[in-house]
Amino acid sequence: MEAFEHIAIALAQMILIAACSPLVTGVIQKLKARLQCRSGASVVQPYHDLMKLLRKGTVQSDTASGMFRVLPALVLAATLVAATLVPAVWVPEDRAAAQLPLGDAIVLTGLLALARFLTAIGALDAGGAFGGMGASREMTVGVLVEPVLMLVVFSVALAGGTTDLGRLATHRLAVPSFHAPDLLALLAMLVLLLAETGRIPVDNPDTHLELTMLHEGMLLEHSGPGLACMVLAGHLKQLVMISLVAAIFLPIGLATQLAPYAIALALAAFAAKVLVLSVFLALVESSYAKLRFFRLPQFLGVGFVTGFLALSLRIL
Amino acid sequence: MADLAERLGRLLGGRIAVTTGPRGADLTFALHRRDDLPAAAAELTGRAEMSLATVVATDELSSPDRDLKMRYVFEPADPVRKRPADRFVTLQVSVDPDRPEVPSISSLVPAANWHEREARDLLGIAPVGHPDPRSLVLHDGWPAGLHPLRKAFDGAQTVARVPAEEFPHLVVEGEGVFEIPVGPIHAGIIEPGHFRFSAVGDTVLNLDARLFYTHRGLEKRIEGMSVIDGFHVAERLCGVCSVAHGLGFCEAVEQIAGVTVAPRAQLVRTIALELERLYNHVGDIGNICAGASYHYGTSAGARLKEALQRLNERLSGNRFLRGWLIPGGVQRDIADDVIRVIETVLASTEAQLADLGHQIDSNPSVVDRFEGTGVLPRQAALHLATTGVTARASGIDRDARRDHPHGAFAAFPGIKLAVATAETADVNARRKVRAAEASESIRLVRVLLARLEPGALTVALPELPTPGKIGLAVTESPRGASIHWLRLDPRGRVERYHVRSASYANWPAVPIAALTAIVPDFPLVNKSFELCYACTDR
């Protein structure tokens, strides 16, 4: 496999994820609305919102430094790069042939942490009370969820003998395994998914109550195209996390060749997997209240313990 | 109660004049010396076990007395045990216009805190020795020495802003303590209020709330209006307690005029009062769910409230029931065919409300947010003279419908009310009291509908009522007792109108309850009180 071709496919997957990510948010919002007996906005509403923000001007806090304007682009860039690493549709057939480290799980974790760090820096830079509060809470959550992601990645990596997500997916495709460590890792990943997508019971993406905000609090000072970047990065991160769960635990349907029928099948499988996980998110969001902030460590602790058990069982 | 007059007279060395009024069973003690006020207030709130209901300050410079007056109105603190429950005791103090000062009673009666500051801002009567001398109603930029409720102040004028210093919020200092300023403009579409949190991390050390951003000077505006015009202003003191405020104004007018409202009108008014409580309580339960981000509950509450508001529109022509009442009776009747519609809506509300309560109770993630959050200790609730759901959830058994009967509760003594209380004093207690009261309102509306007999809807008001007579009416709004004090001038126009809304009495309790919560739980605590800014600010 040509390195060039591999890069082109990774970029194509990134574009696919980026283009679809607002739609996924729209679908989740629609599902939530229907579950709550509301008609809800159209599934393409997030695209309209992004277009609206891109047309608007930017208002910046007096206390913000010049960095504040650049940060949204950096956050979006870090998340976009993270999107290239997840095998959404296609994985190289020949493991040995894929020499490029396009898809390393540790790089992915690092990029997501980088985006989180940059978002928090931006929130602090603007000098608003809610930004600082949101940043402090987001970093508290970050400290609790990042180890979970590492534990899950290591537990599956031990079985696959690699931390490359593409190769992990092909390995799991070839050797499907649903033993205790896999199920525990999946459970940890679902806890992680709720936390990383900023959804109930961890955060409430729909709230207008400033004092309760985590992720939204950090976006309050952004406006116009900058806010569009942050919002798009949020959509992207959500789909990246969903794709990650799908790639590790449901690799069925991934294309290994570039034949049109295989790609079409893989796209359909990807859509189906994303829809399943979207339904999961919408169901959880409509069935539970947001956790009291000081209870979050207990909830995320469930993720940590199951992730840790998954890894321990794998080693033993 | 004769012994109360005797005791007070002995305590104050006879420097006191006792009269009955404003209503038949009430007592008014005019103190000869204003310095006797703290002793008299201490006696009333102490041995006489009374609680401060309202304070009314008036400008009577053009009367023969040529003074300003402060009237401190007390009511029994424990109406279940203390009889008669429906008796107000007024302490009246004359204030020298050349030295407009009264001794502050806030240290003895914490509930007087805001009242005294309001009288200083609006009438320039300084409470000497007040523990918190900051301005309350008038905000930064209002010229000093300009008091809008003085008769000499022309309400139509435009007042130029003067440069002002930043409002001195109570500040907590120490390592790691930071301030979170919230509002008055919020991210959501809600009324304006400024909340200054002093916090360490997410733990609240102190909360300083500043309101009165929507002070519209309605008590000034209403002066000189006819009672019909005044009624329309009273109905609009706030959006969601229109019937309670309107009914309070009507009953005060009717008291002064000495007319008795027709039985059918009394029943229709009380149906309106209960329907108002019902749509508020149902919507508020949904709002409490919104505070905990429990989306199902939020949507269910909004849906139920919408059905009730559509019923409101069908009955009165207004989703907020405005314009249904009128001094002397009601403007619209309830047609027989509409009764069936009311019954259908009530039945579906009852079933769905019970289901929502069951959904909440069986969802541990929701109950965990509600339980133990925002506790308002009973003693604090008593000291601040809180009312309504706020008081009842803290174990205080008071309800103006039973204790100060009005509407059909006065006209039909056979209609009994079951007062719901709770002991845990947290968000869940306030939610449960609301749910119980909503069910009780549904039952009451059915009882009231069953009693409807054909009859007149209005009685004529006399052209010129007795001048100088005071109307004092209490109605139980969805947020608690709202107390209306009204006096008409010799031309039959409003001379002074004062409203102590339920929210006014309850707001000072919110920062106390917030101390037991963490910063992200404050919106939930606030929603469990669900107080109104507009009728507090007026």
Mark yes or no for CB contact A288/B186 under 8 Å: no
Q: What are the tens digits of pLDDT across the range B1-31?
A: 568 888 888 888 888 888 887 888 888 998 8
Neighbours of A124 (CB within 10 A): 16
Round to whole Å and give the CA distance between B331 and B315. 11
Determine the residue among A292, A294, A298 to mutate to test chain B binding: the one whose Cβ has the most chain B Cβ atoms within 10 Å: A292
- Give the residue from chain A lying closest to B195, CA to CA: A211
| Amino acid A94: pLDDT | 62
Q: In the predicted model, is pLDDT for residue B246 greater than 60?
A: yes
Q: What are the tens digits of pLDDT across the range B164-207?
A: 888 888 888 888 888 888 878 887 778 888 988 888 888 888 88
Round to whole Å and give the CA distance between A25 and A235. 6
Mark yes or no for CB contact B294/A288 under 8 Å: yes
Q: Give chain A positions within 8 Å (CB) of B300.
A: 37
- Mean pLDDT over the full length of chain B: 90
Mark yes or no for CB contact A289/B292 under 8 Å: yes
Determine the residue among A211, A216, A284 to mutate to test chain B binding: the one whose Cβ has the most chain B Cβ atoms within 10 Å: A211
Q: In the predicted model, is pLDDT for residue A186 greater than 70?
A: yes
Helix (H) or strand (E) holding A197: none
Structure tokens at B103: 């001794």
Quote the DSSP letter at residue B417.
Answer: -
CA B59 to chain centre: 23
- Give the residue from chain A lying closest to B372, CA to CA: A292
* Chain B residues 475-494 with a CB less than 8 Å from chain A: none
Nearest residue, CB atoms, A286 vs list B178, B295, B303: B295
End-to-end CA distance of chain A: 37
Q: What are the tens digits of pLDDT across the range B73-132?
A: 999 988 888 777 788 999 999 999 899 999 999 999 999 999 999 999 999 999 999 998
Structure tokens at B398: 């008071």
Structure tokens at A68: 């504040």
Helices and strands, number each (H, E), in chain A: 11, 0
DSSP-derived secondary structure for B194-250: EEEEEEETTEEEEEEEE--TT---HHHHTTT--HHHHHHHHHTSSSS-HHHHHHHHH
| Amino acid A103: pLDDT | 80
Round to whole Å and give the CA distance between B174 and B372. 28
- Mean pLDDT over the full length of chain A: 88
| Amino acid B212: pLDDT | 92
The residue type of B77 is A
Residue B208's nearest CA partner among B216, B217, B220, B197 is B197
State whether residue B179 sits within 8 Å of chain A by CB: yes
- Give the residue from chain B lying closest to A211, CA to CA: B520
Q: What are the tens digits of pLDDT across the range B477-501?
A: 999 999 999 998 888 889 999 999 9
Mark yes or no for CB contact B202/A220 under 8 Å: no
Q: How many residues does chain A have?
A: 316
Mark yes or no for CB contact B298/A129 under 8 Å: no
Residue B292's nearest CA partner among A298, A196, A207 is A207
Determine the residue among B295, B306, B363 to mutate to test chain A binding: the one whose Cβ has the most chain A Cβ atoms within 10 Å: B295
Mark yes or no for CB contact A200/B180 under 8 Å: no
Q: How many residues does chain B have?
A: 538
Helix (H) or strand (E) holding B500: strand B494-500
ipTM score assigned to the predicted complex? 0.81
Round to whole Å and give the CA distance between A34 and A120. 33
Confidence band, pLDDT 50/70/90 cuts, at residue A306: very high
Q: Give chain A positions within 8 Å (CB) of B522.
A: 211
Nearest residue, CB atoms, A292 vs list B180, B363, B368: B368
Neighbours of A261 (CB within 10 A): 9
| Amino acid A1: pLDDT | 57
Neighbours of B301 (CB within 10 A): 24
The residue type of A113 is A
Q: What are the tens digits of pLDDT across the range B262-272?
A: 999 999 999 99
Please compute the mean of the pLDDT values over residues B31-41 and round it to a whole number: 89
Place of tokens 């205790």: A180
Q: What are the tens digits of pLDDT across the range B414-449?
A: 888 899 999 899 999 999 999 999 999 999 999 999
Round to whole Å and give the CA distance between A84 and A101. 11
Round to whole Å and give the CA distance between A266 and A289. 36
Nearest residue, CB atoms, B365 vs list A136, A206, A291: A291
Q: In the predicted model, is pLDDT for residue A5 greater than 90?
A: no
Nearest residue, CB atoms, B520 vs list A36, A38, A211: A211
Please compute the mean of the pLDDT values over residues B133-153 and round it to a whole number: 89
Q: In the predicted model, is pLDDT for residue A229 greater than 90?
A: yes
Mark yes or no for CB contact A210/B521 under 8 Å: no
Round to whole Å and give the CA distance between A185 and B491. 82
Q: Give chain A positions within 8 Å (CB) of B530.
A: none
Round to whole Å and give the CA distance between A172 and B273. 66
Determine the residue among B179, B296, B370, B373 to mutate to test chain A binding: the one whose Cβ has the most chain A Cβ atoms within 10 Å: B296
Neighbours of B471 (CB within 10 A): 23
Q: In the predicted model, is pLDDT for residue B211 greater than 60?
A: yes
The residue type of B71 is R
| Amino acid A98: pLDDT | 55
Q: Which residues pair with B384 in a beta bridge?
A: none
Please compute the mean of the pLDDT values over residues A220-241 and round it to a whole number: 92
- SS3 at position A104: strand
Q: Give chain B positions within 8 Å (CB) of A38.
A: 299
Quote the DSSP letter at residue B478.
Answer: T
CB B498 within 8 A of CB B530: no
Residues of A with CB under 8 A from a CB of B: 32, 35-38, 129-130, 132-133, 136-137, 200-201, 204, 206-212, 220, 285-295
Nearest residue, CB atoms, B292 vs list A35, A290, A294: A290
CB B517 within 8 A of CB B374: yes
Please compute the mean of the pLDDT values over residues A30-42 and round it to a whole number: 89
CB B429 within 8 A of CB B423: yes
Helix (H) or strand (E) holding A189: helix A180-196
Q: Give chain A positions within 8 Å (CB) of B289.
A: 289
A vs B: CB pairs below 8 A:
89
Rounded to the nearest angstrom, the minimum Cα separation between B298 and chain A is 9
Half-sphere exposure of A239 (CA within 13 A, CB side): 31
CA B406 to chain centre: 15
Helix (H) or strand (E) holding B91: strand B89-95
CA-atom Rg of chain A in angstroms: 19
End-to-end CA distance of chain B: 35
What is the domain range of residue A30? 3-315
Q: Give pTM, 2 decimals.
A: 0.87
Q: Which range among A2-16, A217-231, B32-46, B281-295 shows the weakest confidence by mean pLDDT?
A: A2-16
Quote the DSSP letter at residue B318.
Answer: S
Confidence band, pLDDT 50/70/90 cuts, at residue A130: confident
CB B418 within 8 A of CB B397: no
Residue B260's nearest CA partner among B194, B165, B312, B329 is B329
Rounded to the nearest angstrom, the minimum Cα separation between A311 and chain B is 29
- Apex CA B471: angle with CA B403 and CA B416, to 5°? 25
Q: What are the tens digits of pLDDT across the range A73-106?
A: 999 999 999 998 888 888 776 655 556 667 888 8
Structure tokens at A288: 């539970």
Number of structural domains found in chain A: 1
Q: Domains of chain B, with CATH numbers? A: 2-128 (3.30.460.80), 177-210 (no CATH), 261-461+508-537 (1.10.645.10)
Q: Which residues pair with B29 in a beta bridge?
A: B18, B91
Which residues are CB-neighbours of B506 under 8 A, at least 6 positions away? B384, B386, B387, B388, B390, B391, B479, B480, B529, B531
Nearest residue, CB atoms, A292 vs list B289, B521, B522: B521
